[in-house]
Amino acid sequence: MLKKILVPTDFSPLAENALKIAAQLAKEHDSEIYLLHMLELPLSQIDALSSHSDLPEAMFFMKLAHKRFEDTMEKDFLNGITVHETVNFHQTSDGILETCKEHDIDLVVMGSHGASGFKEMFIGSNTEKVVRTSEVPVLVIKNEHTNLNIKNFVYASSFTEENKKPYSKAVALTNMLQARMHLLVINTVNNFYTTSEAEDMMNGFISTSSPDNYTMNIYNDDTIEKGILNFSKLIGADLIGMSTHGRQGLAHFFNGSISEDLVNHARRPVITFKM
């Protein structure tokens, strides 16, 4: 079920790109959107604000954020969607994670720069922490999409035991979107599987949780990152999925062989599921 979608925003064009996709998903699945703007104030001001003190600077930013929210609500693409205004005073990444728990969010949609990497992602380097630690799937949007029609979803994995939890979440999403899941094992010189080994691994996962529509694929390339990107381009993928370790993040995807470069270089939307 996709009932509640969280969109963190600084009201930038990047954030609006993410909001447009969230709005599309909300209309398709009868979801509500929680539009979260973060006010990163000094700790002393946060404590004082919680005690209902009159802090001109804090009140100014709150009023400014509310005005921007009202302006955003006038966008045509939000017509007919229930949008909740949410403000959080914690550090950005912690505030997003806290809001997810508080409102039982099903999906986080965030905007990102295309090639500059995680350090330049929306709300700075905090986004990497959200992707790494969020219990909720995180969909990263880099470009403006007039219509994100997800029909081909590449899910790359090492298909080890620890990947079963994120895989099951990816299957549920695939079936909900009525998309085709392309299960993918990447072969490199240092990370090689025979065809039968790779098929056995994928078949083991399919036996416990099967997508309604899927293919099994083995692709050879110089690196795992290049393999995922090249295969996704080959089939015209609409979305790339991967799993992340809670503590080590993307650096430990595929036992340490994949880096943040995959997300940085992928022009397509990327969704992550925590192990």
Scored b (16 or more CB within 10 A) or e, 87-101 reads bbbbebbebbbebbe
pLDDT, one tens digit for every residue, the chain (275 residues):
799 999 998 888 888 999 999 999 999 999 999 999 876 555 454 444 444 445 666 677 778 888 888 998 999 999 999 999 988 766 667 788 889 999 999 999 988 765 444 444 444 455 667 777 788 999 988 877 878 899 999 999 989 888 899 999 999 999 999 999 999 999 999 889 999 999 999 999 999 999 999 999 999 999 888 899 999 999 999 999 988 765 544 444 443 335 456 666 778 898 988 87
What sections of 74-194 are H helices per DSSP?
92-103, 126-133, 164-177
Burial (Cβ within 10 Å: 0-12, 13-18, ≥19) of residue 189: exposed
pTM comes to 0.85
Question: Phi and psi for 69 in degrees, rounded to 5?
Answer: -60, -45
Assigned CATH for 152-274: 3.40.50.620
**pLDDT computed for residue 122 by the predictor:** 46
How many Å apart are CA 193 and CA 150, to the nearest integer? 29
The residues spanned by each domain of the chain are: 4-141, 152-274
Which structure tokens are listed for 37?
Answer: 């703007």
Q: Which amino acid is at 35?
A: L
Question: Phi and psi for 85 in degrees, rounded to 5?
Answer: -85, 125
Q: Which three-class secondary structure state does DSSP give residue 254? A: coil
Domains 4-141 and 152-274 are alike in CATH topology? yes
> How many CB atoms lie under 10 A from the CB of residue 114?
13
Residue recorded with tokens 């930013």 = 61
**pLDDT computed for residue 217 by the predictor:** 97
Q: Report residue 234 CA to chain centroid gap.
A: 23
Q: Which three-class secondary structure state does DSSP give residue 76? A: helix
Q: Which three-class secondary structure state does DSSP give residue 125? A: coil
How many Å apart are CA 227 and CA 187, to the nearest integer? 8
Domain 4-141 maps to which CATH number in 3.60.20.10, 3.40.50.720, 3.10.580.10, 3.40.50.620? 3.40.50.620
**pLDDT computed for residue 48 by the predictor:** 44
**pLDDT computed for residue 112 by the predictor:** 74
Could you tell me which residues are beta bridge partners of residue 153?
A: 181, 239
How many Å apart are CA 160 and CA 74, to the nearest integer? 47
Assess contact for 12 and 37: CB atoms under 8 A: no
